[in-house]
Amino acid sequence: MLFQRKFSGISCIWHQTSDNSGRLVGALDAVLDSNARVAPFRILLQVPGSQVYSPIACGATLEEINQHWDWLEQNLLHTLSVFDNKDDIASFVKGKVKALIAEETSSRLAEQEEEPEKFREALVKFEARFNFPEAEKLVTYYSCCCWKGRVPRQGWLYLSINHLCFYSFFLGKELKLVVPWVDIQKLERTSNVFLTDTIRITTQNKERDFSMFLNLDEVFKVMEQLADVTLRRLLDNEVFDLDPDLQEPSQITKRDLEARAQNEFFRAFFRLPRKEKLHAVVDCSLWTPFSRCHTAGRMFTSDSYICFASREDGCCKIVLPLREVVSIEKMEDTSLLPHPIIVSIRSKVAFQFIELRDRDSLVEALLVRLKQVHANHPVHYDTSVDDDMASPVFHSTSMCGDHRFGDLEMVSSQSSEESEKEKSPLLHPDALVTAFQQSGSQSPDSQMSREQIKISLWNDHFVEYGRTVCMFRTEKIRKLVAMGIPESLRGRLWLLFSDAVTDLASHPGYYGNLVEESLGKCCLVTEEIERDLHRSLPEHPAFQNETGIAALRRVLTAYAHRNPKIGYCQSMNILTSVLLLYAKEEEAFWLLVAVCERMLPDYFNHRVIGAQVDQSVFEELIKGHLPELAEHMNDLSALASVSLSWFLTLFLSIMPLESAVNVVDCFFYDGIKAIFQLGLAVLEANAEDLCSSKDDGQALMILSRFLDHIKNEDSPGPPVGSHHAFFSDDQEPYPVTDISDLIRDSYEKFGDQSVEQIEHLRYKHRIRVLQGHEDTTKQNVLRVVIPEVSILPEDLEELYDLFKREHMMSCYWEQPRPTASRHDPSRPYAEQYRIDARQFAHLFQLVSPWTCGAHTEILAERTFRLLDDNMDQLIEFKAFVSCLDIMYNGEMNEKIKLLYRLHIPPALTENDRDSQSPLKNPLLSTSRPLVFGKPNGDAVDYQKQLKQMIKDLAKEKDKTEKELPKMSQREFIQFCKTLYSMFHEDPEENDLYQAIATVTTLLLQIGEVGQRSSSSGSCSQECGEELQASAPSPEDSVFADTGKTPQDSQAFPEEAQADWTVSLEHILASLLTEQSLVNFFEKPLDMKSKLENAKINQYNLKTSEMSHQSQSELKLSNL
């Protein structure tokens, strides 16, 4: 049977054969395999007028071939309309199919082998096509199309550790595209007129679309991972700690990226420490006694934890720290309980997992880690009873046994605690709220009844689901948290939900030691802390006296001492003060550690990158959930400026305290998701008023009034207003919103965001935020530099990009040198990017107008030494462009002064790298006469000019003090050599050589006359008479043959040579006597052409140098 469809003049035919055996298009080998058996269904390509049918796809059933046809329609057929020639269409389709076959083959091989042959072939092609250094490791590659306007170019996409590269050779045209990951400002999935799903790469000036991938989801995830790793490694190394497996970028593989993505999801989902490394993810089922069945899900095992999450979101989740685990045992395998293991914990609870694949190796690995954890942190089973734990809530004979919160301690904890109390008797032993309990407006009986009801509900929950960090976490506990945790249990449950209790138990005495070490030390951080102490909940009585203030000071100072990278940031004081209200001082410290280091990563640092990323994510959530509000407020940055404090202080600074603590309850249980959904609920509740607001100020007032009137009817304490609230002095009553209702609405309407979705959005927006900081840095640097130079702003911008790229290329491929400084965002804008001598030499060669052939590199070294004022072997962008500005736009005297300075110390050194320099042979033919032959046969006598010049300079000597030291004879030789090199290949080369020969001889005589004048005390008439007037031949050289000693040189004692000097004024006056030299230094220079060539050749220059170095190293190793 034949089924024919036409598109763009090309026939695509379904052909059904009688043979029922066939191959799926997923294998794709059969499409081009002439020996393969004919599939029952095939899609054939025919060009009208041709008798040739080309197989495109094949399948075993009609359903399968229909799926292949749908893929062709979505990804291929719509693009064919851009071609005019039918043969071009056929060529394009065949090329695409061949590429898909090759990619599928390589994917299968990659599953079977660590380094399949196909990948090695792709690596060879990648290296040949892009000529990168060996350090540029290829991670993976894909077949795809790159769109150039409306025309797709079929080719190969190569993803390496630092670059995204595309190569195409189609219809006789070659296309190469190289995009550094650090240049990408946006990475997104989108659609265009022809295709429903493409990947769009946005850089500063261009957008590129890539489509027709065999597996677009996989490609996009790998791109996201590579962009995230590279940008954070190069632009955000202030806080970014790479995984141990990714410490060396050249070792990154596709498998490493997938493992890293899974690791980050694992840590975010269970909110575990950032150093925790995931080892295995296994499908299994867990016995859940509350539902009396096994719940299907996945087990996650890491360095110090066993975790479980059900397949159904919110159904069940557990976190088992290995230090709480007593034993891990394999049980008998039965048909009802296949491959079971039992994990027993200290609170006499056993967790049963079944359906575990490869159970033996899993248990073996877990036992090894369990032994290691117990060896590092031996557990002490304390039989003493903690008074705080004697309440029915934390002491029960239920399934959780008699485990008490206070049992979490180590063998040495008793002595450590005793010594801690001796050393630090000032530590406050209880939560501040117990010492400064306020009576509310309600009757005591009403307050107690509400609290008792909540405590009773929680007690019932503990009996059924567990009361320790190993409790079953279900939707039921989320509802209890949303109602508000009882004040007597709040601090304890915060510790359990955040797992700060494990840190507390694992580090006995740690906090007390930190307090001892940090108190009394004065620095900038402690000054900032002292300044903010009395601004922390000043309306609460706990912080109206020294007890609360002292505890707050100790916790903040101790944390700054523990983590100098973060130190102290504003808003940490507000958060810590609330933690101290409900937790003991040491517990509050570990809660702060949990919040700053894993629950709100990168929030509390120099640039608050984490908070800005979440702000950007929040803006996208607003567009998705509240489109009308987003449309009304075209610029959501106004909302972002208001909501930033929502994230930084968890609503504590803008909501009454008794209401805000309920938000913190949800945050400790659900993480940042709770803040996102509550923020959306706040905006949704005010959407109508916000849409009718006239400006940002009115919108701010609406939100502030609403937040200030959120009450907590269940709070046992009196209302405590927000000290940061605005516009709270209402002239008329404002509607009151109950916090429980608002939180319930947030879960019902906006609780569908999963941790995986939030992490994906963070990847996407971290690129935008980091590039936004880079743009800010660039604009600030340019704003400082523009007024001080004559270079056009657009050219300065190009120079900045070249400067930054040179820095980045060294980060890509070179081992860090002691002098090389990485990008440091904490430094002032102008100092964030700096380059060393080698990087400067590359840029000098690319953009400097003073190219001197082989001498250029030596001149670059001297220029670098001149610009390196503080001698730290690094220079900033401002110094670089100031030097270029003189070269391109300076007056002649400024250019000569710069050249002069390049040939005296510190630019010129005794060990200057110039093997051909006659520095060690300073003998010159200074007896050369001052009469030169001209082309017209005339002779010019410079004796009179010389005498007059010496007299004029002698007069000026007393008037002004010389700014620069005089140039010695050896330095003058190098100066002349540079001038000769600069004139090479100039259109006026011959005239310039003649002129510089004249000037050089004149200056030699000036130096000699000055030398004799200083030795005799005055310049006598005899000096002039000694100057001979015989004309030399044009071939005479300024430099004497260093292999022979000039006869006349014996007239001057060797020790007198050290006194030979000329000044900048001598040189400048001499150069002004030759019009050709004046024209050379005053002619306008074109920077734009240099910049264009530099952009094209910058990579080639770097890669050629790296290749030359590797070849040199290879030769040395073979010796």
- Digit-coded pLDDT (tens) for 908-919: 887 776 644 444
pLDDT at residue 212, rounded to an integer: 86
Point out the least confidently predicted range of 565-569, 736-740, 871-875, 1012-1016: 1012-1016
- Entry field: residues in the chain: 1119
Mean predicted confidence (pLDDT) in 385-395: 39
pLDDT tens-digit profile of 331-363? 998 888 999 999 999 988 999 999 998 899 999
Whether residue 607 contacts residue 766, with contact meaning beta carbons closer than 8 Å, is answered with: no
Q: Which residue has the higher pLDDT, 768 or 403?
A: 768
Q: pLDDT grade, residue 706 (50/70/90)?
A: very high
pLDDT tens-digit profile of 971-1015? 999 999 999 999 988 888 899 999 999 999 999 988 888 777 666
Mean predicted confidence (pLDDT) in 801-815: 87
pLDDT tens-digit profile of 528-569? 999 999 888 888 888 888 889 999 999 999 999 999 888 898
Q: pLDDT grade, residue 1016 (50/70/90)?
A: low
Mean predicted confidence (pLDDT) in 204-215: 89
Q: How many CB atoms lie within 10 A of CB 179?
A: 15
pLDDT at residue 68, rounded to an integer: 81
pLDDT at residue 535, rounded to an integer: 86
Is residue 320 over pLDDT 80?
A: yes
pLDDT tens-digit profile of 101-130? 666 654 543 443 345 788 888 999 999 999
The pairing of beta strand 737-738 with beta strand 710-711: parallel
Nearest alpha carbon to residue 3 among 43, 40, 47? 43
Q: pLDDT grade, residue 177 (50/70/90)?
A: very high
Which residues make Cβ contacts (< 8 Å) with residue 872, sequence separation at least 6?
A: 819
Mean predicted confidence (pLDDT) in 745-752: 93
DSSP conformational letter for 540: S
Please calculate the CA angle 953-958-963 and round it to the nearest 5 degrees. 80
**% of the chain surpassing 70 pLDDT:** 75
Is residue 833 over pLDDT 60?
A: yes
Mean predicted confidence (pLDDT) in 731-746: 87
Nearest alpha carbon to residue 821 among 176, 20, 234? 234
Give long-range contacts, CB 8 A cutoff, 24+ apart: 1017-1023.
Answer: 1019/950, 1019/954
Q: pLDDT grade, residue 1118 (50/70/90)?
A: very low
Cα distance between residue 828 and residue 246, in whole Å: 29
Torsion angle of alpha carbons 469, 474, 479, 483, nearest 10°?
Answer: 0
Please calculate the CA angle 1019-1025-1028 and round it to the nearest 5 degrees. 125
Beta bridge partners, 288, equal: 293
Token output for 750: 């906006």
Q: How many CB atoms lie within 10 A of CB 972?
A: 25
Which residues make Cβ contacts (< 8 Å) with residue 708, sequence separation at least 6?
A: 654, 655, 656, 721, 722, 725, 726, 727, 728
Point out the least confidently predicted range of 207-211, 387-391, 933-937: 387-391
pLDDT at residue 901, rounded to an integer: 94
3-state percent helix, strand, coil for the chain, nearest multiple of 5: 55, 15, 35
Instruction: Considering only CA atoms, give the Rg of the chain.
Output: 39
Is residue 637 over pLDDT 80?
A: no
Q: pLDDT grade, residue 830 (50/70/90)?
A: confident
What is the overall mean pLDDT for the chain?
79
Per-residue CA distances from 713 to 29, 222, 728 (Å): 70, 49, 19
Torsion angle of alpha carbons 407, 413, 415, 416, nearest 10°?
Answer: -130
Give the chain's end-to-end CA distance (angstroms, integer). 71
Which residues make Cβ contacts (< 8 Å) with residue 121, sequence separation at least 6?
A: none
Whether residue 151 contacts residue 145, with contact meaning beta carbons closer than 8 Å, is answered with: no
Buried b (16+ CB within 10 A) or exposed e, 198-208: bbbbbeeeeeb
pLDDT at residue 420, rounded to an integer: 41
Q: How many CB atoms lie within 10 A of CB 338?
A: 13
Q: pLDDT grade, residue 1049 (50/70/90)?
A: very low
DSSP conformational letter for 808: H
Is residue 1025 over pLDDT 50?
A: no
Whether residue 455 contacts residue 488, with contact meaning beta carbons closer than 8 Å, is answered with: yes
Q: pLDDT grade, residue 692 (50/70/90)?
A: confident
The sign of the dihedral angle between the CA atoms of 353, 359, 360, 362 is negative
Is residue 929 over pLDDT 50?
A: no
Mean predicted confidence (pLDDT) in 413-437: 57
pLDDT at residue 1099, rounded to an integer: 84
pLDDT at residue 367, rounded to an integer: 96
Please calculate the CA angle 364-367-369 and round it to the nearest 5 degrees. 115
Q: What are phi and psi of 172, to 5 degrees?
A: 80, 5
Cα distance between residue 500 and residue 559, in whole Å: 14
Q: pLDDT grade, residue 679 (50/70/90)?
A: very high
**% of the chain surpassing 90 pLDDT:** 46
Mean predicted confidence (pLDDT) in 876-884: 95
Cα distance between residue 73 and residue 96, in whole Å: 14
Cα distance between residue 548 and residue 426, in whole Å: 12
pLDDT at residue 437, rounded to an integer: 65
Cα distance between residue 240 and residue 118, in whole Å: 34
Whether residue 836 contacts residue 817, with contact meaning beta carbons closer than 8 Å, is answered with: yes
